[in-house]
Amino acid sequence: MFDIGIGELIALAVIGLMIFGPEKLPKAAADAAKWIKQIRAMAVDARKDLAESSGIDLNETLNTVKGLGDYHPKKLASSLFTDEDDDVPSDRKPGDGKAQPPAFDPDTT
């Protein structure tokens, strides 16, 4: 979630020690954790209230939004240039277990 490395954590700990001191730092950390927990609970409650008041099923909406990924330009372009019939190359037999490299003509390049 956060891209915080060990160096940043050490720097934050040193800054916390300088600001709060060794006596108050554990209480300040506990208070910060409590605030974060309260903010997350408020966000979950707000999401539930919004879903209930609007009458929208969030799971259905999320599935619809995920389905919109099929309309990404790259996926659309790749679907235009591939055919279901082109799964088996013309120079290979369908039951053939070996993959053969495509034909190469040095005069065409």
Rounded-to-integer distance, Cα 11 and Cα 16, Å:
8
Rounded-to-integer distance, Cα 91 and Cα 40, Å:
59
Rounded-to-integer distance, Cα 3 and Cα 72, Å:
28
The alpha-helical segments, DSSP class H, found in 55-94 are 58-67, 73-81
Instruction: Quickly tell me which residue has 């300040």 as its tokens.
Output: 28
- What is the average pLDDT across 3-22? 88
Sequence ranges of the domains in the chain: 27-82
Rounded-to-integer distance, Cα 90 and Cα 102, Å:
10
**pTM beyond 0.95, yes or no:** no
Query: DSSP state, 90?
Result: T
Residue 99 has pLDDT above 90, yes or no: no
Query: DSSP state, 88?
Result: S
* pLDDT tens string 47-93: 888 888 887 777 787 888 888 888 888 887 888 777 655 455 555 55
